[in-house]
Chain A
Amino acid sequence: MAGPATSLAAKPARSGAGTPRVIRNPLWVRVVFMTLALGFLACFLVLPLAAVFAEALRKGIGAYFHSFADPDVHSAIRLTLLTAAIAVPANLVFGVAAAWCIAKYDFRGKSLLVTLIDLPFAVSPVISGLIYMLIFGLQGWLGPYLGAGDHPWFGEWFNQQDIKIVFAVPGIVLATIFVTFPFVARELIPLMQTQGNDEEYAALTLGATGWQTFWRVTVPNIKWGLFYGVILCNARAMGEFGAVSVVSGKIRGETTTMPLHIEILYNENNSVAAFAVASLLALLALVTLVLKSFIEWRHAQSRPAV
């Protein structure tokens, strides 16, 4: 629920704008509405975005690029990419499986399942991190067994391993998977539901196997929805702050992702460097928005014109 209300399926096929109508608001109302809307968006959206780049370049282009020479920044970028590279495919596979069973079949408890899938959006990011601390932290359920030590139930090899989940990369990845969990699924479920099962049935009567039907008929039909879900999932995975901040331990150069590294730099009053790293994430956000608009446009094009 408390997740993005944005969805490909919710996009209207055509908007009412542009259809010439006799009945409409008087000019002054339109001017007031336009001014309020655009003014509000300028203050709250355009200005912050502009501020990121302006602050990053405050001391000139040289200082800007110098910020990226820091090996800790490199490691933050690497960790962010790695986290997204694990979390996004994992949630992609899950999203497809969930959408397949929810959109293609009728079973009891289906609406409960849909609600549960949306659950991570309803949870504060801080809590998303906390719950993994409760399981893998030193005071947690599994925490005491993970470090090296003499645990009677496990084999010798296991006891010699010093497995770190929280305050390490696995915890960051897990927390990221949690917060980006619903993105692909909630994109695909409505899409596959509106498409129905007829094309899959047709493929089956023509002798295709289940996998052939899936790869040759279903996947091409949902590819834009898939892509849409993936870029939203990726934007959140790379940008997540709260959940990751709880489990990371913020060991500089080891467990700081880009958003966490921004915090460190900002608190050190290294404003230019903080905004320089932030500018990369802002660029990512802009690319995400452009891709998103492109997919919406493609999706509107591909709607049958009948």
Chain B
Amino acid sequence: MNAYDLAFYLLAAMALVGAAITVLSRRLVYAAFSLLLAFLGVAGLYALLAADFLAIAQVVVYVGGILVLLLFGVMLTHRIYDTTLKSVRVQPLLGGLVAAGIAILLISVAWNTPWNTTHEIAAEPTTAKIGEAFMKHYVFPFEFVSLILLVALIGAALIGRSRTPGSGNGR
């Protein structure tokens, strides 16, 4: 077991433990913070996969953006000091069965498929290459996704705007 493997197992454990707490915890705030752990673990795995830019993006977008949004969601929809907030769980048995089923299926596929792997190419920084790919070959998807983001943000602002009687009829 070399350092790479050790790092992998540590990060994988971090991600999975985070995910497990997220899923199982009854307190919503705990769930949100353990999601941070899971995201960071995944970011570490990206780094192991020589995807340095992706790892940074994961940290910035998921941890810095999405998670904060989720926390806001938690806070705004409940009384703010109520950190003992419970989340009711329904049909845990059914959920467990389904989750276990899909996990077993995916894992067996992962191990039983003869992957056509080409490996052992030295890792190198990807940022410049990704930038070039986005500006050349993938420029259309890039612009398109920017547009989607813009539209979604405007739409979110519009939907989320307060519609109290004093502030007009929301036009």
Q: A and B from one assembly?
A: no
